[in-house]
Amino acid sequence: MADQPRTLMTLTINGQVVQAAKGTMLVDAAAAVGIEIPIFCYEPRLGAPIGACRMCLVEVEGMRGLQTACSTPVAPDMVVSTDSEVAAEAQDGVLELLLANHPLDCPVCDKGGECPLQDRTFRFGPGETRTLEPKMHFPKPLDLSPLVALDRERCIACFRCVRFSQDVAEDGHLTFQERGDHIEIATASGDPYEGRFTGNTIDLCPVGALTSNPYRFVSRPWEITNTPSVCAGCAMGCNIEITTRDNEVKRLTGRPEPNMAVEEGWICDRGRWGYPALRGDDRLPGAVLVDGVGRRSVPLERALGVAADMLIPHEARVGILLGEVVTVETGFLAMELGDRVGAAPAMVRRMGIPGDGLGLMRALPGAQMDDLDHADLVLVLGGDPCSQQPVAELRIRKARRRGVPVVVVGPRPTALDASCEVVRTAPGQMTDAVVAIREHLDGTRRAIVLWDEADLAAEPGAAEEIARAMAVTEGARAIEMCADVSGPGLRALGISADADLLEAIEAGGIDVLVTISADPTAGPAGDRWAAALDGVGTIIEMASYRSGLTDRAALVLPLLTPLEEEGVLVSMAGRAQRLRPGAREAAGAAAAWEVLIGITHRLGRPVPDRTPAQAFARLAARHAPFAGMDYGTLDREGAVIAAAVATPDPRRPEAGGEGLVIVPCTPVFGDATAHRSDALASVREPTHVGLAPVEAQRLGVRTDSRVRITTPHGEAVLPLRVDSRLHEGAAYLVMGDPAVRAMHLLPVDRGPVRANVTAVAREDVVT
Amino acid sequence: MTADEIEEYLAPMRHEYADPRSLILPALRYAQGEAGWLPPASMSAVAEATGFTEAYVESVASFYDRCYLEPVGRRVLNVCVTLSCMLRGSDEIFDHIADYLGLDGEGTTGDGMFTLQRVQCIGACDRAPCLQVDSGEQVGPLEPADATCLIDDLRDLPAPERYER
Amino acid sequence: MPEFHVVYRHREYGRPLTTLAEYTRVGGFLGLRDAIAMSSDDVLYAFHRSGLRGRGGAGFPMGRKASFLPKNTGKPTYVVCNADESEPGTFKDREIIEQNPFQLIEGIAIAAHAVGCERAYIYIRGEYEAQATVLDAALAETREAGHLGPDALGEGRPFDITLYRGSGAYICGEETALLESLEGKRGQPRLKPPFPAVAGLYGCPTLINNVETLAALPPIMHRGPDWYAALGPEKSPGTKVFSVSGHVLRPGNYEVVLGRTTLRELIVDMAGGLRPGRQVKAVWPGGSSVPVIGAGSLDVPLDYESLEGVGTFLGSGGCIVMDDTGCIVRACHRLAQFYRHESCGKCTPCREGTGWLENILGRMVEGRGRGDDDIRMLEGLFGRISGRTLCALADGAVMPVQSALELFRDEFVRVAHEGSPRPAPMTEAPVG
Ligand SMILES: Cc1cc2nc3c(=O)[nH]c(=O)nc-3n(C[C@H](O)[C@H](O)[C@H](O)COP(=O)(O)O)c2cc1C
Ligand code: SF4
Ligand code: FES
């Protein structure tokens, strides 16, 4: 890393000798040795300290008056007192003034019990509040948005939420209005505060001024348990905390002790408010068996036996298909199961992008998200991190605020465009930008390239050229923006994509198909899959939610979701991190690892593992990328798996034929969870087609018209949005709603494809 | 006022500032010149012309006393009531004007002609007690009768082409 | 000592110098000419030698401040003239702008030459619309004459000045709040350090000075820093304008040599004294933010050190006089209203404390006081505010009240118990 050597300084805090690196603020130096200096406004993740709340006043020998510990850097031989009479009186005084206009409504406040203001009042505060003045009154809580409530009386004007909106998310929508003691948090003329990251303001608020509407009055702090885990909403791998009560997930928040190498404590609103999906109507409550007797519920224990029976005939040829969000333990145990059934080892495949042509990119030296903090160039190649891996956007913005050039290359408009350099390419023509990319890389020493798996997979030619340019650029490193959450982990286990499984099924080579959180009929080439599955004798579906397979399966085994199960997910930057179960909301369901282990027992060929930890240890011993890891080493911040070795790859053909090139988009705010969670109703993105105005004009359609979109793989009728930022010659296919099929329009390898788009009905045509 | 008009006004001064954010206040003052206050439409126009969010523009405007986010009268009568003026009778002048206009303290007359408000020191303590109409010349020292005359004169004037507040 | 005009050159000539021709005729732009002939380091040294101190309030040596600006940072350097003049009782800059605007422009150009600046800003309070109009015209005329523009500071050395109007906020006189406001933000002060000299406007090195400070530069450069340094005492050389207001018969601005005139002379001889039979009760000699002093201190010479010697500050030179008809608690309450209204709201002690202060004083004046409890509460509150805030506004809110309570304790106690009826105001028209 290009950091300067850390100069250590020795100082004294409350008589204790402390060493701290140059530039460390007194609060942090004190905290490192267990001395708490109370703070409210200080939050280094928001930028340089602002010294506004004055809570952290301490005495420093030789300095006139009191100093704010949040903004005073350590200096050699400094003598600091945080608890002297003068300092204590000052802290007490500031608290008294903070409380002067704070309604003491802790008993009814959602923050009560986990409120920094409450805690600090107990620890550092006044014995009594002397104010006799009537406090400021505002009409009671205001909905800042359907998700965030604001109680203005409780606000202590610490600036945290406003700085988050202005300086971190850079959305500019949450501000202070008025001044002096009239100051209040507001949006423009009462518009809702909506965005991709609004919930972080709730985590930041040190009082109960900003609270989560879905969590309002749901539980009290002493009734809940908090479990650290990882969000499975996208491949970013943000660390989260799951709040549980009565075996239900009640809340998700950013991790109070963030993973600075990943999300830095921020999470997106989709991650935060997706949990109501767990209780969605389409959640599978228990096992279902279809046999001669009919269709009926069976206890899970029984169902495992039935599954084993279905897999036992040794001549059966078995396929196992893993979905986009499964843990590495599930992948590993699926392979173990595959080895124990059938005539030959089962075909274990994952739904996802084959990765042809990406070998060189994947073999480049990898980086972590915090490397963006030291980069001298950030290149975003394809994709749209803002909508597909949202928290990556925050880290990219942070780099840009440091003054680092950020260049966004690709066919999609992104939320970064307004503040970064943009190289817009025609869909499928990223090759055209290679010269520009080389120029940007030239002379850099710490460039970080974030590249989109799906876009570059569709253009392996460009990927290769870019990889070569990076390989000769000193210090350049890459982060893959994966389309699938399971992708990096399953690839590291050597599990390849599913195209050949489909071919095998079509050739009649599969008798039993096991799907694990995978519904191929809703995926790429879904129609082809649907037809092929007619030829499969037995389908065993393991899933958390009803799917297009549920009615065709002979056996349905209900699974827990990532918020409920234990296991390891590998993030797009290759970081293996632990999921820890928050709750088990579906009483009849089990974790995939439990189900898989159970079946091997019923088969009479048990795996030795009883826990996912054991399964992980065994997989780490067998699979080089995980060498040396176990749950212990992953405990706090996870660990980075070894990078892939470059392999020569077959190339893919270009999109031939006529029509508009499809640009597939899978925004997390448009995914299945976003559509299942009613909390996200106001911000979810519907499945639709986006067209540039010229294309819309050509077709005579406008926003909200319904269009028929046809590819060699299928057909769908979707609503249209006309957007002037889109490229002509392309149809931007935004998908994810489980109720609307659209993914099936793509080929099974998600390669390039063209579509014919037409107006559906008369009334959709503009005359 | 449209965003285009504001942009046209800002164009010649853009080069004077390293950051376009600096244009927000000039834009707000200019936009306020049209109606004498900043209706939401003007606020959006300023936001559009300067490239910042409406929330941000509103937050800036609401910080400053002389940006009006609510409608005010055709003329704003600013009576300074800070110490030097108080010592020389500003409270009496204020009460007198309020009486004369039929107002109960600060506020706008029913005909929308005048808004009367107390303001903090306007840098004319040598003319105490003093008054400023919009952001015009500070007038004083005032006697109650002077104030009444001034108001009568203002009443006869047409609305200004541009408001300077 | 009579008045002595350095920044009020127009008074010397008996008429406003609002055209370039008039200003040039009385020696205008000779200081700039002389400065340009010198290296910027020599000009900085001249500032230093002159002993000129900031006239905006804090009295920081101008040459020292200018020498803090780092050189060759690769960033532009800015000069910002603080024409916010919002301190109650202060109206001295207004007269410079109205009647001697070119001297200010010339002073800014000299400072720009010294620190290597190509664009300066004058931040003028929004309420000075009439004054801004004069300045605008003066700037245009100066530009036309080539003193501003591509070759203003010599062949190929461009320099220009932008006039920026505030919009009603006292806090924007505080230098970092001013910079925020000039950057298009809410005028809320920044944490210091870094100081503006290092990271000021747009994060660049910035010299920020008051109107009067900058207007003193042309004579300093033309007549020499030693001439200026010889005026007045060693540590407080030069002249200072005092704005006298309140219960005096001839309120107005008076420019005097520091240390040579006493407060009594200023009030009585220059500002016309009080109404017959009235006595001085209280004086805030440096604007409303300084400790108040009583009749016993009237013989203090007007300079920084002497005023500190009697427990107050020279501040901005806004000298507010109250005679024995005034009620000190009422006066304090009025000032507390001012500070509450003007608190920006950024830091806790100021946002909450100024309001609390006003509430206590308010109920005392209105006869709803709680007697000694309120006095004790006041005393407790001072310490919870002063020295604990982000900027000096809150100190300015506390000092006049705290000093008044010390000086007029009996009256406070009485009002805390009995309230204070509105006294009859002074209605005499100013003389002369
Ligand atoms: C609350 C507050 C208000 C101020 N108002 C003004 C002002 O109106 N004009 C001014 O020149 N300085 C004002 N100052 C002082 C400035 O912060 C700064 O010290 C000054 O502009 C420096 O210029 P000088 O060194 O030439 O005095 C104020 C300071 C504070 C704390
Ligand atoms: S709402 Fe909360 S985070 Fe925002 S300023 Fe108020 S106290 Fe701080
Ligand atoms: S934490 Fe230091 S001032 Fe707020």
**What is the residue whose two structure tokens read 């808004």?**
B115
Q: Could you tell me if B28 lies within 8 Å of chain A, comparing CB atoms? A: no
Look at B88 and C427 and tell me if their CB atoms are within 8 Å: yes
A682 found inside a domain: yes
**HEC letters along A632-651:** CCCCCCCEECCCCCCCCCCC
Give the percent of chain A with pLDDT over 90: 82
Look at C388 and A96 and tell me if their CB atoms are within 8 Å: no
Which of B20, B89, B121 comes nearest C427 by C-beta? B89
CATH code, domain with A735: 2.40.40.20
Average pLDDT, chain C: 96
pLDDT tens digits for range A653-670:
666 778 999 999 999 999
Query: What pLDDT is recorded for position A356?
Result: 84
Element (H, E) at C379: helix C372-385
The Cβ of residue A682 has, within 10 Å, a number of other Cβ atoms equal to 12
Closest by Cα among A384, A331, A336 to A626: A331
Element (H, E) at C132: helix C129-144
**HEC letters along A257-294:** CCCCCCCCCCCCHHHHHCHHHHHCCCECCCEEEEECCE
Reduced to 3 states, what is the DSSP secondary structure of residue A77?
A: coil
pLDDT tens digits for range C226-281:
999 999 999 899 999 999 999 999 999 999 999 999 999 999 999 999 999 999 99
User: Does residue A273 share a domain with residue A292?
Assistant: no
User: Does residue A275 share a domain with residue A144?
Assistant: yes
A194 burial (CB, 10 Å; 0-12 / 13-18 / 19+) is middle
User: Does residue A544 share a domain with residue A608?
Assistant: yes
Give the residues of chain C that fall short of pLDDT 50. Answer: none
C-alpha span between A636 and C156 (Å, rounded):
61
Query: What pLDDT is recorded for position A89?
Result: 93
A484 found inside a domain: no
Query: What pLDDT is recorded for position B146?
Result: 94
Query: What pLDDT is recorded for position A357?
Result: 87
Rounded to 10 degrees, the C-alpha dihedral A81/A83/A85/A89 comes to: 120
Domains by residue range for chain B, with CATH: 3-63 (1.10.10.1590), 75-155 (3.40.30.10)
Domain end call among A476, A499, A518: A476
Averaged pLDDT, B47-51: 97
Domain end call among A74, A98, A122: A98
C-alpha span between C19 and A330 (Å, rounded):
86
Query: What pLDDT is recorded for position A652?
Result: 64
User: Does residue A594 share a domain with residue A501?
Assistant: yes
C-alpha span between C124 and C144 (Å, rounded):
22
Averaged pLDDT, A726-735: 95
Residue A1 binned pLDDT confidence (cut-offs 50, 70, 90)? very low
User: Does residue A148 share a domain with residue A85?
Assistant: no
CB pairs under 8 A between A and B: 38
C-alpha span between A495 and A332 (Å, rounded):
9
Q: Could you tell me if C362 lies within 8 Å of chain A, comparing CB atoms? A: no
A443 burial (CB, 10 Å; 0-12 / 13-18 / 19+) is exposed
Average pLDDT, chain A: 93
Query: What pLDDT is recorded for position A342?
Result: 76
User: Does residue A341 share a domain with residue A361?
Assistant: no
Distance A6 CA to ligand 2 centre (A): 34
Q: Could you tell me if C96 lies within 8 Å of chain B, comparing CB atoms? A: no
A33 found inside a domain: yes
- Centroid of chain to Cα A13: 40
User: Does residue A568 share a domain with residue A518?
Assistant: yes
Query: What pLDDT is recorded for position A119?
Result: 87
ipTM above 0.85, yes or no: yes
Chains with at least 3 CB pairs less than 8 angstroms from chain A: B, C
Q: Domain range holding A746?
A: 660-764
pLDDT > 90? residue A52? yes
User: Does residue A623 share a domain with residue A530?
Assistant: yes
Q: Could you tell me if B28 lies within 8 Å of chain C, comparing CB atoms? A: yes
Closest by Cα among A534, A488, A491, A539 to A518: A539
DSSP code at position C270:
I
pLDDT > 90? residue B70? yes
Domain end call among A223, A246, A279: A279
* Residue A248, strand partner residues: A245
Give the percent of chain B with pLDDT over 70: 100
A743 found inside a domain: yes
Radius of gyration of chain C (CA): 22
Q: Which chain A residues are within 8 Å of B55, Cβ to Cβ? A: 172-175, 186-188, 191
Helices B40-50 and B24-35, interaxial angle, to 10°?
150
Residue C14, token pair as written in the block: 């008996």
pLDDT > 80? residue A83? yes
Q: Could you tell me if B52 lies within 8 Å of chain A, comparing CB atoms? A: yes
CATH code, domain with A192: 3.30.70.20
CB C286 within 8 A of CB C58: no
C-alpha span between A405 and A96 (Å, rounded):
46
Residue B144, token pair as written in the block: 């109650």
Q: What atom in ligand 1 is closest to the CA of residue C53?
A: 25
Number of domains in chain A: 5
pLDDT > 90? residue A587? no
Q: Could you tell me if C165 lies within 8 Å of chain B, comparing CB atoms? A: yes
Does the CB atom of residue A54 touch ligand 3 within 6 A? Answer: yes
φ/ψ (deg, to 5) at A99: -80, -15
User: Does residue A422 share a domain with residue A366?
Assistant: yes
Reduced to 3 states, what is the DSSP secondary structure of residue C77?
A: coil
A119 found inside a domain: no
Residue A281, token pair as written in the block: 């109507």
CATH code, domain with A303: 3.40.50.740
Which of B53, B62, B63 comes nearest A172 by C-beta? B53
Query: What pLDDT is recorded for position A128?
Result: 58
Q: Which chain B residues are within 8 Å of A174, Cβ to Cβ? A: 55
Residue A680 binned pLDDT confidence (cut-offs 50, 70, 90)? very high
A591 found inside a domain: yes
C-alpha span between C66 and C73 (Å, rounded):
15
User: Does residue A618 share a domain with residue A528?
Assistant: yes
Q: Could you tell me if B21 lies within 8 Å of chain A, comparing CB atoms? A: no
Query: Which residues, in sequence order, are CB contacts of B81 under 8 Å at separation 6+?
Result: B90, B91, B94, B118, B119, B120, C334
pLDDT tens digits for range A599-656:
999 999 999 999 999 999 999 999 999 999 999 999 999 999 987 776 656 666 666 7
Query: What pLDDT is recorded for position A103?
Result: 85
C-alpha span between C371 and A634 (Å, rounded):
66
Query: What pLDDT is recorded for position A2?
Result: 44
Average pLDDT, chain B: 96
Distance A178 CA to ligand 2 centre (A): 15
- What is the pTM for the complete model shown? 0.95
Ligand 1 pocket mutation pick from C69, C86, C87, C338 by most atoms within 8 angstroms of CB = C87
CATH code, domain with A41: 3.10.20.740
CB A322 within 8 A of CB A350: yes
Residue with more model confidence, A139 or A334: A334
Give the percent of chain A with pLDDT over 70: 96
Look at C164 and B25 and tell me if their CB atoms are within 8 Å: yes
**HEC letters along chain B:** CCHHHHHHHHHHHHHHCCCHHHHHHHHHHHHHHHHCCCCHHHHHHHHHHHCCCHHHHHHHHCCCCCCCCCCCCCEEEEEECCHHHHHCCHHHHHHHHHHHHCCCCCEECCCCCEEEEEECCCCCHHHCCCEEECCCCEECCCCHHHHHHHHHHHHHCCCCCCCCC
- Centroid of chain to Cα C55: 6
A439 found inside a domain: yes
C-alpha span between A419 and A406 (Å, rounded):
9
DSSP code at position C422:
P
Q: What atom in ligand 3 is closest to the CA of residue A158?
A: 4
Query: What pLDDT is recorded for position B101?
Result: 97
Which of A54, A55, A156 comes nearest C389 by C-beta? A54
User: Does residue A626 share a domain with residue A497?
Assistant: yes
Look at B63 and C182 and tell me if their CB atoms are within 8 Å: no
User: Does residue A362 share a domain with residue A337?
Assistant: no
pLDDT > 90? residue A142? no
Positive or negative torsion for Cα A490, A492, A495, A497:
positive
Query: Best interface-test mutation with B: which of A165, A166, A174, A175 has the largest number of B CBs within 10 A?
Result: A175
Chains with at least 3 CB pairs less than 8 angstroms from chain B: A, C
A106 found inside a domain: no
